[in-house]
Amino acid sequence: MKQQRPLTISGGRIVTREGVREGTVRLVDGRIDEICGQPHENDEVIDAGGRLVTPGLVDLGVFAVDKPAFHFGGITRAALMPDQSPPLDLPSRISYIAKSGKPDFWVHPLAAATRGINGREIAELALMREAGARGVATGRQWIADSGVMLRLLQYAAMLDMTVIAHAEDAALVGAAVATAGEVATRRGLPCAPAHAEAIAISRDIALAEMAAARIHFRQVTTKAGLDIVRGAKARGARVTCGVTPAHFMLSDLATVDFRTFARLSPPLRSEEDRHAVREAIRDGTIDVIASGHDPRGPEDKRLPFSDAEPGMAGAETLLAMTLSLVRDEVIDLVKAFELIAMAPARILGVEAGAIAAGLEADIAIIDPEKPWIIQSAKMEAAAGNTPFDGQPTQGRVSALYKGGVLIDL
């Protein structure tokens, strides 16, 4: 699938790193040729009709690839976590995944940090990088052995690869399914202290500084954890962090009726922590908003809360939930697309995620005001386990281009 002729998108509001501007975007041979130029003779011209013209979203850290769901949400690339069957701990598996979504969707595999994602023996990262891995991930698990984690960070630093870490102390979490507090106590749910996150982050940042490595915490969801990341950034540590919409939209109050669609990892936190997440998005402590896309069927979710598997189908709601932060004046449009496109692309080291000359022509045309209702039964994902089921929202993709070629939505 190659772009056959130059394409100019006109009449839209273009979201760039510098701001939102009116004008045109010209796409040639799968790349962005220029911004605010005039259509050339024989160009195909598309009128955006005053809607937003944005980079295609880059989703950092998904557990499954559902192309229709990602396309619905304006996502053109996703970094796939190594928690697959079999796990992504061999170069051959990385190579296969790196080719799997093309041409209309690019999957960037993340190499398993350890063999079998067991937290003990470091995997062959150099060979997996050569095979197409765009980072290293510990998976759903925290590496409990500090010596293994230090060697991993040192190895990744030598290869100039970012380590994407899960931030919960496994010994404190155990079999917990909720955050310790009034809600979990009243419902009799196995719970763990919220500080399990801060303890894990403290150790891993200390080790990353020793190794001079880059570390990205896939989700930081507590005030204590965010304060540690904020302090590390202030002293120059090479640390970034992300969050999913569930943790800035919902708190543990969403679990009071044992709704298993709200059974997540890490679990939903207190209202205080939810507000701390929103403040961290506002002040730049949080670098990335990702979907955490992890569709779970009825066999995993129609169970007692403590027995249900964690996870949510997030690809289709990522854009709308992030735009809600713009409507709430937590962030502006430029910051929104920094969080869901520019920063993830930068962490992965891919030439995408922004509208700038020379980058790949992954473009979305978005109507930010278009209303719709999230309905789990009608989602494009393999399963519709969204904690936002039934919620009215705004913001839909009108058209999506991958490498300058229109994708059928």
Distance of alpha carbon 63 from the chain centroid = 10
pLDDT at 333: 98
* 59-351+371-392 CATH, one of 3.60.20.10, 3.40.50.11540, 3.60.21.10, 3.20.20.140: 3.20.20.140
CB neighbour list of residue 213: distance below 8 Å, 6 or more residues apart: 153, 154, 156, 157, 163, 238
Residues 154 and 211: beta-carbon distance below 8 Å: yes
Question: Distance (Å, rounded) from C-alpha 110 to C-alpha 139?
Answer: 9
pLDDT at 41: 84
What count of other Cβ atoms lies within 10 Å of the Cβ of residue 67?
17
Q: pLDDT 10s per residue in the chain (409 long)?
A: 788 899 999 999 999 999 999 999 999 999 999 998 778 888 999 999 999 999 999 999 999 999 999 999 999 999 999 999 999 999 999 999 999 888 899 999 999 999 999 999 999 999 999 999 999 999 999 999 999 999 999 999 999 999 999 999 999 999 999 999 999 999 999 999 999 999 999 999 999 999 999 999 999 999 999 999 999 999 999 999 999 999 999 999 999 899 999 999 999 999 999 999 999 999 999 999 999 999 999 999 999 999 999 999 999 999 999 999 999 999 999 999 999 999 999 999 999 999 999 999 999 999 999 999 999 999 999 899 999 999 999 999 999 999 999 998 8
Question: Distance (Å, rounded) from C-alpha 270 to C-alpha 268?
Answer: 7
pLDDT at 40: 84
Residues 58 and 77: beta-carbon distance below 8 Å: yes
Question: Distance (Å, rounded) from C-alpha 316 to C-alpha 409?
Answer: 12
How open is the CA angle 63-195-270, to the nearest 5 degrees? 75
- SS3 of 310, please? coil
CB neighbour list of residue 156: distance below 8 Å, 6 or more residues apart: 125, 136, 162, 163, 211, 213, 214
Q: pTM for the full model?
A: 0.96
- Please classify residue 68 by burial: count the beta carbons closer than 10 Å to its beta carbon, then call 0-12 exposed, 13-18 middle and 19+ buried: middle
Question: Distance (Å, rounded) from C-alpha 361 to C-alpha 23?
Answer: 16
Asked if residue 266 has a cis previous peptide bond (ω within 30° of 0), the answer is: yes
Give domain limits for the chain. Answer: 59-351+371-392
Residues 262 and 268: beta-carbon distance below 8 Å: yes
CB neighbour list of residue 162: distance below 8 Å, 6 or more residues apart: 135, 136, 156, 214, 215, 216, 240, 347, 348
- SS3 of 153, please? helix
Amino acid at 180: A
Q: Using alpha carbons, list the distances in angstroms from residue 256 to 45, 149, 268.
A: 52, 36, 11
Amino acid at 265: S
- Please classify residue 283 by burial: count the beta carbons closer than 10 Å to its beta carbon, then call 0-12 exposed, 13-18 middle and 19+ buried: exposed
The beta strands (E) that lie in 29-125 are given as: 31-35, 44-47, 52-55, 57-62, 75-80, 106-109, 111-112
